[in-house]
Chain A
Amino acid sequence: ETGVTQTPRHLVMGMTNKKSLKCEQHLGHNAMYWYKQSAKKPLELMFVYNFKEQTENNSVPSRFSPECPNSSHLFLHLHTLQPEDSALYLCASSQDLLDSWQYFGPGTRLTVT
């Protein structure tokens, strides 16, 4: 256990559905991250939040919508996804943005049908 939890662990959704992924960290960290790991591409950093403020959106399509209501929680809202969005979505946190060790959650395995 790293202190970062993600729910659900597995999710199957149709292309017209709306769902949300949740991440929670119990470490008192200030920065949180969403990553995408798909079979055919290198790991991608999707979103970065520092003190609840989004610092970077790495050209992620608008069908992915992040939300960070406080430093402990991070959501990824999903709508009208495509089959190529099927991947492992990893959440991570770190004490601060620049120099820190990142702690990763177990991931959500998403399948879009």
Chain B
Amino acid sequence: ELKVEQNPLFLSMQEGKNYTIYCNYSTTSDRLYWYRQDPGKSLESLFVLLSNGAVKQEGRLMASLDTKARLSTLHITAAVHDLSATYFCAVGWSGGSNYKLTFGKGTLLTVNP
């Protein structure tokens, strides 16, 4: 069974600082997703990472994937208050007609002025 561990689960940081959220997974996968969820709202897709060494950036967020280490990171640069949300990683694999996706527990990020 695929297990996904995110850490930290809670992160409080000051505006302007940098930090990284980690997503470890237990077995081979062929894709990794990052999502954002604001309180009381639905999910928003952030990144899809499909290959070893993949790096994607959008604004102050950058995601990377190391399939050999079974690790993805979400790096936050010069945080601003608007980035406060819960961030989820999810690890997926597909085999034939099967498609599975396992989520981490989420990281609640609070950016303080």
Contact = CB atoms under 8 A, between A and B. Distances in A.
Interface string A30-73: 00000100000011110010100001101000000000000000
B103 A42 contact: yes
Given A42-B106, A92-B43, A97-B94, A56 B31 contact: no
Contacts of A50: 99
Contact of B48 (A44, A58, A101, A107): A101
A42 B42 contact: no
A98 B50 CA distance: 10
B31 A104 contact: no
Given A97-B94, A102-B45, A43 B99 contact: no
Contacts of A44: 103
Interface residues of A, number: 24
A56 B103 contact: no
A39 B103 CA distance: 14
A104 B59 CA distance: 21
A104 B100 contact: no
Contact of B31 (A2, A58, A99): A99
A90 B43 contact: yes
B99 A48 contact: yes
B103 A97 contact: no
B56 to A, nearest CB: 11
Interface in B2-36: 4, 31, 33
A56 B100 contact: yes
Contact of A43 (B41, B44, B88, B100): B88
A56 B99 contact: yes
Interface in B93-113: 94, 97-106
B90 interface: yes
B107 to A, nearest CB: 12
Given A42-B106, A106-B42, A99 B101 contact: no
A58 B88 contact: no
A108 B7 CA distance: 28
B86 to A, nearest CB: 10
B52 to A, nearest CB: 16
